[in-house]
Amino acid sequence: MAQKIIAGVTIDVNEEGYFTNPAQWTKEIAVEIAREEGIQLTDKHLAVLDFLRERFSKGEALTIRSVGNSGIIDIKGFYGLFPGAPMKKAAKVAGIPKPASCV
């Protein structure tokens, strides 16, 4: 298992840089990962990240559609917050494994 130092903390990650232990996540780490992805976190970003972490902790499937139906943001807005590959980027910043729906 690989490790990476983010915001001064050693984090366990896989070969793609996704957390293998979501319990290691903090907001400070999220800010640093987002910065690496070219994203400046806002309250809306944090609300989406909280939603994803909660769904993941319940073992629920994470999809772009579920984010769009969350009541937090619509799908177009989700793409605006995490441009390019919104679910992959959001999962990485949220400190959870890459969702199965992502290739």
Q: Give pLDDT tens digits along the chain (103 positions).
A: 689 999 899 999 999 889 999 999 999 999 999 999 999 999 999 999 999 999 999 999 899 999 999 999 999 999 999 998 999 999 999 999 988 777 6
Residue 46 is predicted with a pLDDT of 97
* Beta bridge partner(s), residue 10: 5
Catalytic residues: 102
Q: What is the pTM of this model?
A: 0.91
Task: Say if residues 55 and 47 touch (Cβ distance below 8 Å).
Answer: no
Neighbours of 95 (CB within 10 A): 25
